[in-house]
Chains A and B, each alone.
Chain A
Amino acid sequence: MLSDALKETLRGKIAQGEHPREHAVDVMLEIQKRCGYMSDEAMEEAATLLGMSPLELEELATFYDHIYREPVGKYVIRVCDSAVCWMHGHLSVVDHLTSLLGIGMGETTPDGLFTVLPVCCLGYCDRAPAMMINQRIFGQLTPEKIDRVIRRLREEASFDEAE
C-alpha cells in the first residue's frame, strides 16, 4: 500500500506531463526509492495513478533493469560484464564477490544488505573492471578493493541501524 503522502507526490509529478503515462518510469523509481522495490500492489496502485493497466506498466517495469519487481538488498551491486570489463577479469570479480557474500548472481544476502546483479557497460571502460553500488561507481577493482568496499558498507549499515 502506498502512503497517501506518497500518492499525493506522485499525482503532482504525473500532472506535470502532457500524458500521465509519460511519467511511468519516474513514478516507479520514486516508489522504489521509498519502498525498495515494486511490489505487485505497488504496481497496481501506480498503474491506476497513471491511467495504465497493470500489464502495461509491467511491460515497462520488466523491460528496464533498474526497476525491481522483487525485494533487493540495501546495496545493489551491479558488476559490469561488457567486453572491456570482461577482458579485464570481470569473471574473477564476480567470483570474488559471490564467495565473499556467500550468494550467487541475482541473489540477496540473508541479512538483506547486498544483491549482486550483472550490468552491461557502466561507461567506465577506462577503469575496468568496474561495478556500481546503488548510485556510486567503483573502478579498477581488485579483491582487496572489493573487500574494503564491502567492509565499509557493512559498517555503514550497522551505523544506520544503531542510529
Chain B
Amino acid sequence: MPRLIIDEREIEVPPGTKVIDAAERLGILIPRFCYHEGLGAVGACRMCAVQFVEGPVKGLQMSCMVDAQDGMVVSTSHEEAVEFRRFIIECLMLNHPHDCPVCDEGGQCLLQDETVSGGHGLRRYQGKKRTYRDQYLGELIAHEMNRCIHCYRCSRFYQEFSGYRDLGPLQIANRVFYGRFKDGPLESPFSGNLVDICPTGVYTDKPSRYKARRWDLQRTPSVCIHCSLGCNTVANARYREVVRVEARFSGEVNGHFICDRGRFGFPYTNLPGRPRTARTAGGECSQGEAVAAAAEKLREISSTFGPQAVACFGSSRNSLETQCMLKRICRLQGWQVPGFFVDPALERRVRAAVSLLDASAGVSMREVERADCVVAAGVDPVNEAPMLALAMRQAFRRGAEILVADPRPIFLPFPFIHVPVSMERMDSFLEGLARLAGESSDGTGVREADLLSQIVQNGGLASSDLPLPVSFCRALFGSQNPVVLCGTECVRESTLPAAAALARDLRKGRDRAGLLYVLPGANAFGAGLLNSQGHPGFSRLLESVESGSVRALIVTESDPLNDFCHRDRLLGTLGKLDLLVVMDFLDSETARMAHVFLPTTTHFESGSCFVNHEGRLQYAEAVHHGGIPIEQAGGGSHPPRVYRGDIPGEGPKAAWVILAELGRTLGIPDRDLLGLGPWSLIGEEIPSLKRLEGTVFPPEGIRILSDGDPVQWVQGPEARDGEDDRGAVPPGDFFEILLTHWTFGTEELSSRSGPLQKVEKEPYGMMHSDDARVLGFSEGDRIVLSLEGGQIRFRLSVADRMGRGVLVLPRHRKLAWRNIPEMPCFVPRDRIRREDS
C-alpha cells in the first residue's frame, strides 16, 4: 500500500487511490471541478493542481490524475500551485455572470467556494462576456448556461455513467455548450442528478426554485421510499414544508445518485388536501377522541363476535415500526394476523423472496455494479426500480454480459440481450440456462445446440427470439461473479425459487453468485419478514367480511382501493363492515370511507426504519416537525397573526404510536407497547433481529440477512393447497394481462407529485406487432378490453421485441385497470376490440 506525505502528514492508501482522494482522507479538500468520485478523473478543469516536491512524480501536477505512490511528498499550499490555481479560477470566472444573488446554487456552490479558496477577489478582465441561450429542459431541471465552467461533469454523468443520449457537449473551444439538440424535456429518469453534480448553478431543481438557501434548510439523512431499493437521500425542509430531496452517498446502496422518482416524488407530504385532523362519524375530533371511539367499537365487536372478528391490514410502505406494532397488537388482542398485500399471490411471492435470500446469496446494488454477467428474469429495472438500471449499466461498462428474460418490452440504457420468454415458461428457461451454462463447461459444445433448441421449446419461443444465447451461456459460464436479478411484480411464484436455484448452480465452483429480488415497495421486505405465517390472504379476508365473520378492519397506511384489482367488489365489501378504521397520511379513497380516521405522519416527520430489497435495515431521520406548510397556512402571504400554543396541523402522529395508543386504550399495558421503544419492539416481533438490539445504527444500515445459514431463517409460503394454484395459461387463444409499473405515474406516493405528473406519459397498452396484425390493430388505435368487472380503454402501442400473447398495461390512475377481476388475468382474444368496430 502506497505511503505518501501530503502537507507534512503521512498517509497510507490503497493502490490506485488518486492523490486528490488521499488528501481528502487527511481532511484536505483540494479544489476541484471536473473530478467526481462517482465519475472518475479526466483532468479537464486544471483546478486541482498541487506541487509534487519529492518522489516519482515531480513538479506541478493535477492531483486528480496522479495515483498515490510510495515516497511522494506533496504540497497543496506550495507557492507555484497556489498561483496556478488562482490563475485557473480567474480564467474560469471570466464569463461568469456574477448572478449569485438570484442563483439557487448560491450557498452550496463549488464555484463560489473555489473562487474564494483560489483567492480570486478582484476582477481584472474588462472584456465582453460570452453568453448563451438557455434551453427548456422540461419541468424538473432549469438551465442557465452562462454559469458554466466547462468541467464536463454533466455530460459524463448523463452519457457515460447513465447511458442517455440527449444531453451533451456541443460546439468547440470557448463556445462549448452543454444541452440538447433542441429544447425539450430531458429523456433520462436520472436527470435530477445534474443538479447535484454540476459544480455551479447551470442545472437547478426547478420545482424548488427560489424557495430557500441551503443554510435556511433543515437537512437530514433520509431514505427513499418510492421503490424497494432504498436509495439514500438528504431531505430538505423549510417553513414546515419538504422543499427538496437530494442524493446522499451510500457505498453499498445507491452510490452518489438517485432517480427522479426518488428526487421529485415527495410532494405527497405537503399536499394541501393532506388529512391532518382525526374524524369519526360525528365529524372532526381530536386524536384521543378518535382513538377512544375506535377502541370502544372494537371492544364491542370483540366481545360480541370474538377477537377474530377484527382484522388489520398494513402495506409495504409502512415503516418497520408500524408493521411490528400492527403484528404485536393483533397478537396481544387475539385479532387476525395482519396482512400487507391485497394480492395474495404477490404476498406469497414476497415471502418466498425473503425466505430465499441469505447473506451468501443476497447482493447489494454495489455488488451488481461489479458483476461480470447478469441474468435478469421478469424484471423491468427502469420502471420498477430505476437505480438498478444504473447499477447494471456500470456492470455493462466494466464488460459484463447482460441478459433480460421478460415478455414485456424492456428498455435499458445500454445494449443487452432481451429474450421475451413468457412468465409461464420463465422457470424452464432459467433451468435451461443453468444446464446450458453447466454444459458449456465440459468444453464439448456438442450438446449446446440441442439444449438451445430445448430452451427455445421450453421457453415457448421462436428461434428468432434468441439472439446470441450460446455466446451468452459461455459468458455466463466463464464469469467469476455472476448475478441473477428477479422481479416479484409480474412473475409466477415458482420463478423465485427457479432464480435462486440458478444462482445456487452458478455458485458451484465460484466464490460468489449473487441473487437480487426487486420487491413491491419500500418495506416489502419487512412485510415479508412479519408475514411468515398465519395471514389468510386478502381475498379470504374479504370473504370473511362478506360472510360476516370479520366485522372490523383497521387499515394502516394502506389504500386497498388503490391497489386491489376488483374495485367494485372491494367497495361493496368495505361497505359491509361495522367498523373501518383508517390511519394514513394520504387522502386516500379508503380513508374517505373510514368510520374512524386517524391522520399519521410521513417518514419526513417521524424517524422510521425501512428494510430494502437486500434486507438492509435503514433509518430515515425526521427532517421536520410537520404541520401545515406556512405557505398554505398564510395563503402564500404572511401566516395568520393569531396566538396559539401549538403548530397548526401538527395533529398527526406516527402510525405505530397511534396503534400503541389504541392498544393502551384497549387495556394492553404500556410497557408492552410504546414502553418498549422502537428497537425492542422490532426485536420482539422479528426474533432474528433481537441480536441487533442496542446496536449503534451505522450509516450504511444493517444487513439483516443471516450469515450463510443453510436453514431457511424465515418461513417461505406454505405449500399451496391446490385450489389457488393459479397462473397456468388456460388452453385456447388467450392474452395474459401483465399489470406493470412505470417509472412515473403508477407508484402510489410519487404519482401524487405535481412535477412528476407533468412528466409522466399518457398511459397506453402494449402488444406484439404480430398479435396486433392478427387482430387487425395498429399503433395508436383506441382499444376496448371488456371484462366482467367492466371495460378498460386504452391507446395501443405495438412492439416487435416483446412476447406474443401478452397485453401489457400500466397501473396508471388514468387507466381503469381496477376492472380486472384478479391477477393473473387471461382474456380471450375476442374480448379485445378496436373502439370504433
Contact A59 B182 (CB under 8 A): no
Interface string of A42-80 (1 = CB under 8 A from B): 011000000011111011001100000000000000000
Tell whether B171 is near chain A: CB-to-CB under 8 Å. Answer: yes
Is chain A's interface secondary structure helix, strand, loop, or mixed overall? helix
A62 with B171, Cβ < 8 A, contacts A40-B182, A53-B181, A55-B181 known: yes
With a CB–CB cut-off of 8 A, which chain A residues contact B165? 52-53, 55-56
Interface string of B171-197 (1 = CB under 8 A from A): 110000000111000000000000000
**Least Cβ–Cβ distance between A61 and chain B, in angstroms:** 8
Contact A58 B181 (CB under 8 A): yes
Q: Which of A43, A44, A56 contacts B168 (CB 8 A)?
A: A56
Contact B170 A59 (CB under 8 A): yes
Which range holds the interface residue count of chain B? 10 to 19
Contact B171 A54 (CB under 8 A): no
Contact A55 B180 (CB under 8 A): yes
Contact B169 A59 (CB under 8 A): yes
Bound Cα distance from A54 to B166, whole angstroms: 8
Which positions 531-555 of chain B face chain A at CB distance < 8 Å? none
With a CB–CB cut-off of 8 A, which chain B residues contact A43? 181
Contact A55 B172 (CB under 8 A): no
With a CB–CB cut-off of 8 A, which chain A residues contact B168? 55-56, 59
Of B166, B167, B170, B181, most buried by chain A (CB within 10 Å of CB) is B181
Identity of the chain A residue whose Cβ is nearest the Cβ of B172 in the assembled complex: A63
Bound Cα distance from A59 to B167, whole angstroms: 10
Contact B171 A63 (CB under 8 A): yes
With a CB–CB cut-off of 8 A, which chain B residues contact A59? 168-170
Contact A55 B166 (CB under 8 A): yes
Bound Cα distance from A52 to B181, whole angstroms: 12
Identity of the chain B residue whose Cβ is nearest the Cβ of A65 in the assembled complex: B172
Which positions 58-105 of chain A face chain B at CB distance < 8 Å? 58-59, 62-63
With a CB–CB cut-off of 8 A, which chain A residues contact B169? 59
Identity of the chain B residue whose Cβ is nearest the Cβ of A40 in the assembled complex: B182
**Least Cβ–Cβ distance between A127 and chain B, in angstroms:** 27
Identity of the chain B residue whose Cβ is nearest the Cβ of A58 in the assembled complex: B181
With a CB–CB cut-off of 8 A, which chain B residues contact A56? 165, 168
With a CB–CB cut-off of 8 A, which chain A residues contact B180? 55
Identity of the chain B residue whose Cβ is nearest the Cβ of A52 in the assembled complex: B165
Identity of the chain A residue whose Cβ is nearest the Cβ of B177 in the assembled complex: A62
Bound Cα distance from A58 to B181, whole angstroms: 7
**Least Cβ–Cβ distance between A48 and chain B, in angstroms:** 13
Identity of the chain A residue whose Cβ is nearest the Cβ of B170 in the assembled complex: A62
Interface string of B633-666 (1 = CB under 8 A from A): 0000000000000000000000000000000000
Which positions 7-56 of chain A face chain B at CB distance < 8 Å? 40, 43-44, 52-56
Bound Cα distance from A63 to B170, whole angstroms: 7
Identity of the chain A residue whose Cβ is nearest the Cβ of B175 in the assembled complex: A62
Identity of the chain B residue whose Cβ is nearest the Cβ of A63 in the assembled complex: B172
Of B166, B170, B180, most buried by chain A (CB within 10 Å of CB) is B170
Identity of the chain A residue whose Cβ is nearest the Cβ of B187 in the assembled complex: A53
A-B contact pairs, 12 of them (CB 8 A): A53-B165, A53-B181, A55-B168, A55-B170, A55-B180, A56-B165, A58-B181, A59-B168, A59-B170, A62-B170, A63-B170, A63-B171
Known: A53-B165, A59-B169, A63-B170. 10 other contacts (CB 8 A): A40-B182, A43-B181, A54-B182, A55-B167, A55-B180, A55-B181, A56-B165, A58-B170, A58-B181, A63-B171
